[in-house]
Structure 1
Amino acid sequence: MNFSNSNLQLYRINTFNKNKIIKYIVSVILLLITVSTFAQQGINYKALIKDGSGNVLASAPVSIQFIIYEGVALTNNVYQESHTVNTDANGIVIVNIGQGSTTGNVFANINWGIDQHFLNVQVNTGAGLVDMGTTEFMAVPYAINAANVSGLEKITENGNTGWRLIGKNPANYGDIGNNATDLSSSDS
């Protein structure tokens, strides 16, 4: 190609800009791929909201408060949050527990393995919070599947119960921590 100086400079600028744009697009794509691989923290919650007379509240503002208790006494509040949303045309709200406005505790820090957990739901349609009840969290498909992990055995040592790789000599390890998973593979 035969370029004059001004054409050559214009060509270099256009090439530089194209390369810069391509690098930017590739960076954005990689960022989106990376973000999508992180595990989501939260529990999907969907409800049909009705007023005190049983009528569906369509396209109306509501506040929902969630409290997660640890233990059957329902006195240990380990997490609390609220959501202010609008119902859809059918009176439905969909929120993610763990992604609302919290009162201090962090959803990701809930230790689900140490005790039973209960969810209390309260809804405010304009006349104050109404307690909708408290129910125990039960196993979900992912948690049920996690119990089927192969290669681990449940062990109890010095009153603590945990999991260790199958066939490993306990003499090569320290005592298992309560609800701990030991994936180290020392053979000596």
Structure 2
Amino acid sequence: MKKFTFIFTIIILGLVTMAQTPQGINYQAVARNVDGGPIINQDISVKISILAQSASGDVVYSEAHSVTTNNMGLFRLEIGNPGLVLTGTFEDIPWGVADYFIKLELDENSGTNYQLMGVSQLLSVPYSLNSGSLTLTDENGNAHNVSVDTSGNLFATIIWKCGLPITDNRDGQTYKPYK
């Protein structure tokens, strides 16, 4: 009975601790006025845009936030958990297929008269958001997108042994191992 209780407890703990990958990027910056001084203890509006390919690329996602700076002008927000989505859907950004840039615009009067503060390339950390999908290439060079189930259903997990083909249960198609 003790063995059963122990195993049951381990299984339940495993199910409880499984979670989906958070869809968001923590962001913090110091808000500065046109003279370069920090904007201290003030409500401001921030517009964040994700651009594809280059610093002047197409906007694939944008959102607006109302935040309050602290006594050093610092503000924090989570990109992807917005107050107001302006363009696109954060979860639909194909992180693994292009270079992405973040564009920051700010209105120190908490309105919508945004001033460009800068554009920076996103590097490795946001690309972990790509871990929810996988693209495999077959022997003919055709790309196949494979979605990773992050629903937390431990018992529905596919066990894929390295080097063996995998069959997609949805359509019965078998994929050879990636080499």
**CA shift for structure 1 position 62:** 1.0
Q: Distance in 1 between matches of 2:126 and 2:61?
A: 23
Change (3 A) 1:141 1:124: closer
Structure 1 vs Structure 2: percent identity of aligned residues? 25
Q: Distance in 2 between matches of 1:70 and 1:142?
A: 13
Residue 79 of structure 1: which of 47, 61, 68 is its match? 61
For the aligned residue pairs, the C-alpha RMSD in angstroms reads 3.8
The range that moved more, 59-68 or 99-108, is 99-108
Indicate yes or no: 2:111 matched with 1:111: no
The residue identity in structure 1 corresponding to 2:162 is I
Provide Cα deviations, 1:129-188, integer angstroms capped at 9, x if missing partner.
Answer: 2212222210029839x6xxxxxxx75633346798631259x96468xxxx99xxxxxx
TM-score of the two chains, using structure 2 as the length reference: 0.61
Q: Which residue of structure 2 aligns with residue 132 of structure 1?
A: 117
Q: Distance in 2 between matches of 1:64 and 1:34?
A: 36
Q: Distance in 1 between matches of 2:118 and 2:26?
A: 18
Q: Which residue of structure 2 aligns with residue 68 of structure 1?
A: 50
Aligned partners of 2:50 and 2:102 also within 8 Å: yes
**CA shift for structure 1 position 80:** 0.6
Provide Cα deviations, 1:18-57, integer angstroms capped at 9, x if missing partner.
Answer: xxxxxxxxxxxxxxx9699443221000011121122221
Structure number with greater Rg is 1
Q: Which residue of structure 1 aligns with residue 11 of structure 2?
A: none
**Helix, strand or coil: the match of 2:75?**
strand
Q: Distance in 1 between matches of 2:126 and 2:93?
A: 19
Change (3 A) 1:142 1:74: closer
Residue 166 of structure 1: which of 150, 162, 165 is its match? 162
Q: Distance in 1 between matches of 2:80 and 2:43?
A: 20
The residue identity in structure 2 corresponding to 1:60 is Q
Q: Which residue of structure 2 aligns with residue 59 of structure 1?
A: 41
TM-score of the two chains, using structure 1 as the length reference: 0.58
Residue 40 of structure 1: which of 22, 43, 57 is its match? 22
Q: Distance in 2 between matches of 1:155 and 1:56?
A: 50
Question: Which one has a larger percent helix, Structure 1 or Structure 2?
Answer: 1
1:10-21 map, 5 Å: none
The answer for unaligned runs of 5 or more in structure 2 is 1-14, 147-159, 167-171
Q: Distance in 2 between matches of 1:45 and 1:107?
A: 15
What is the number of equivalent residue pairs in this alignment? 138
